[in-house]
Structure 1
Amino acid sequence: MNYSSFFIYCVIVAFSPGPSNIVILASVQQSGIKRTLRYIAGASIAFFLLIALSVVLGETLSSRLPFILPVLRIAGCLFMLYLAYQVYHMDVSNASTNRTASFASGFLMQFLNPKVVMFTLTVIPSYVMPYYTEGQVISAFVVAVSLIGLAAYMTWAVCGNLFQGVLQKYRRTTNTVLALFLLYSAIVVSDLPNLLKG
């Protein structure tokens, strides 16, 4: 097993900008890091469950993903468009209206994001299971990947907290940029660019 390739892949996927990370940044801007922890908890638990599911179902699930992916693309696209709308209209003066940072939103986002689903459901079967069969070793890898995901979410939250003053000073611009990133993510998830080419 190529450990360096495995961990580099996990870190790049977890830390690179994506819908969950963007929502975390926007939520910290509006509600602060403490309330954003609910979203992070939901996202982290779903991330762990998806990775554990990949171990339980193994190759059977991987072979059926092509049939599930179109449904995930549509549902994920619609959910991200909803989140983009919510982020764009966030008002830092009214933190109680923040629905994007709920536990349920973080949990649901993981199951509706094809990038996360494809990564979590294939990383252990592709990288680890061909080389290890012991339950304890595979469980250790599941925990390691889950912790990388949690570390990424916490990093985005801490960075959002550190730059909260700047983000709030330019709230309208920040919300617009974050909403545009989510809009871009929705377009990519929908696979619309490839459909238009073909």
Structure 2
Amino acid sequence: MEIDYVSVFIFTFVTTYTPGPNTISSAMMGVQVGYRRSIPYFLGIATGFFTIMLLGGIFASLLARVLPEVMKVFSYVGAAYILYLAYRVLYADYALSQNRAKLLGYKDGLLLQLFNPKVLVLALTIYTTFLGTIDRSVSALMVSALFLTAMSFSAISLWASFGAAFSHLLTSQKTRRLINGLLALLLVYSAITLVVA
């Protein structure tokens, strides 16, 4: 099966740019302490994210070698998870906490990835489904993990830079429904390509 890079991009874009622990905490940091003072936190997130993606790729590679028939099952499980994400995105709340946040650092961002279910499931989903046929060499896994990390870093940077603007823009129920609906449809498309391909 050939890799559908459009689906990989859509899935990665939607999962990294929609609200989750990384994006919401980064938005709060950007609003409360500014982008520049948040950079160590973002670098911690990026380091942890890259590590989880690389480990997810290695795990999927081992699984493909030991139990190759399980990979098709993961396609269906992955599609079901993506449909669940689409449902969650459709009803996502973009409200940011108004509490003053402490200045979070590198270690906080790094540790967040170990306890961030969205990142763990993203790694397993992407490497057992969309990238299930990727070259399993260390260099290919590192390049894919770097690409995914770059997407994540761009998402947290955007949320941090425009946190206040997002907060004001997304208070409109009509705007929120429109954005959520579009993102949910993109996820449904990604889920369909997994099981149809």
Relative to 1, partners in 2 of residues 1:44 and 1:61: Cα closer, same or farther, differing over 3 Å?
A: farther
Question: One-letter code of the match for 1:144?
Answer: F
Counterparts of 1:107 and 1:61, CA distance in 2: 26
- TM-score, normalized by length of structure 1? 0.59
SS of 1:89's partner is: coil
Query: Which residue does 2:76 correspond to in 1?
Result: none
> 10, 26, 32: which one pairs with 1:8?
10
Question: One-letter code of the match for 2:112?
Answer: M
Asked whether 1:132 is paired with 2:135, we answer yes
Report if the CA contact (8 A) 1:129-1:138 is conserved.
no
Query: Which residue does 1:46 correspond to in 2?
Result: 48
Relative to 1, partners in 2 of residues 1:136 and 1:33: Cα closer, same or farther, differing over 3 Å?
A: same
| Structure 1: gaps (5+ residues) | 64-86, 91-96, 168-198
Report if the CA contact (8 A) 2:134-2:140 is conserved.
no
| Structure 2: gaps (5+ residues) | 65-69, 71-96, 169-197
Asked whether 1:152 is paired with 2:162, we answer no
Relative to its length, the structure with more helix (as a share) is 1
Query: Which residue does 2:58 correspond to in 1?
Result: 56
Report if the CA contact (8 A) 1:41-1:106 is conserved.
yes
Report if the CA contact (8 A) 1:124-1:141 is conserved.
no
Greater relative contact order (Cα 8 A, min sep 6): structure 1 or 2?
2
Counterparts of 1:106 and 1:129, CA distance in 2: 28
Question: One-letter code of the match for 2:16?
Answer: A
Q: CA deviation at 1:158?
A: 1.7
RMSD, matched Cα: 3.0
Spell out the pairing of 1:93-132 with structure 2 (5 A cutoff).
98-99=102-103, 101-132=104-135
> 14, 22, 25: which one pairs with 1:23?
25
